[in-house]
């Protein structure tokens, strides 16, 4: 099994799942700063030019949420997906919540503060996206009251995806008002098999 990754990105979700599963995998860094994701050899693997990518035999799988679900389903004995149908539906609910309601505003902020050329950035959209993220973070903050994990009594792939996404929000200073969420992120990243947080992953690139 091979994971194409770049440390500070959504690759963290896939790496986290692999590490929690305790399975051997080969990690290959695709340096986005150096433009490795646009090289012909990588575009043959993922024509979208994005990471992470998981290769398992003849399966080439992109999209971090699809990857974590595949891994959890491949190793059901590890318990990263609940067997109960209703609880699994809740896992899917929060995976989609993270990918749509939380992640999309964060992408807009990233694009209009760093990724787009300066003359194409829209500062007004940063304000709107920040507000939208906080509105949805408030929903999750309320959900997490009295809970250790997003769904059920043990960690699932929903936690790895949600915790990473919240850490991204923390990087742009949008979690300060949400005590439940900041505590949850700290707990999740304190797990023995957790990957580095985003700030630590960025720092490692400078070494």
Tens-digit pLDDT profile for residues 78-98? 999 999 999 999 999 999 999
DSSP lists the bridge partners of residue 62 as: 53
Contact 167, 197 (CB under 8 A): yes
If DSSP states are collapsed to H, E and C, what string results for 53-101?
EEEECCEEEECHHHHHHHHHHHCHHHCCCCCCHHHHHHHHHHHHHHHHH
- The average confidence (pLDDT) of the chain is 96
pLDDT at 33 over 70: yes
Amino acid 71: pLDDT = 98
Look at residue 34 in the predicted model and tell me its pLDDT.
92
How confident is residue 163, by pLDDT bands cut at 50, 70 and 90? Answer: very high
Give tens-digit pLDDT for 42-78: 999 999 999 999 999 999 999 999 999 999 999 999 9
Determine what percent of the chain is predicted with pLDDT higher than 90: 96
SS3 state at 30: coil
| pLDDT classification of 196: cutoffs 50, 70, 90 | very high
| Pairwise CA distance, residues 125 & 130, whole Å | 8
pLDDT for the residue numbered 205: 82
Closest by CA position to 100, among listed 72, 131, 68, 65? 65
For residue 203, name the pLDDT band (cuts at 50, 70, 90): confident
Q: How many CB atoms lie under 10 A from the CB of residue 114? A: 9
- Going by pLDDT thresholds of 50, 70 and 90, the confidence category of residue 204 is confident
Q: Is 118 helix (H, G, I), strand (E, B) or coil?
A: helix
- What's the pLDDT at 207? 62
Q: Where are the beta strands (DSSP E) in the chain?
A: 2-5, 26-29, 53-56, 59-62
């Amino acid at each position: 099994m091979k994971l194409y990754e770049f440390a500070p990105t959504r690759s963290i979700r896939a790496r986290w799942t692999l590490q929690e599963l305790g399975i051997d995998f080969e990690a290959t860094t695709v340096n986005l700063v150096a433009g490795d994701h646009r090289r012909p050899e990588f575009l043959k693997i993922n024509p979208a030019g994005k990471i992470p990518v998981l290769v398992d035999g003849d399966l080439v799988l992109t999209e971090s949420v699809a990857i974590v679900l595949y891994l959890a389903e491949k190793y059901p004995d590890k318990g990263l997906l609940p067997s109960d149908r209703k609880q699994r539906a809740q896992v899917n609910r929060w995976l989609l919540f993270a990918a749509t309601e939380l992640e999309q505003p964060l992408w807009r902020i990233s694009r209009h503060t760093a990724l787009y050329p300066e003359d194409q950035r829209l500062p007004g959209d940063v304000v709107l996206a920040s507000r939208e993220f906080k509105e949805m973070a408030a929903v999750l903050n309320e959900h997490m009251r009295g809970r250790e994990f997003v769904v059920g009594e043990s960690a699932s792939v929903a936690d790895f995806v949600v915790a990473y996404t919240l850490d991204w929000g923390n990087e742009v200073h949008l979690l300060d008002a949400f005590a439940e969420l900041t505590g949850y992120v700290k707990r999740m990243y304190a797990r023995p098999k957790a990957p580095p947080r985003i700030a630590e992953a960025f720092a490692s690139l400078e070494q």
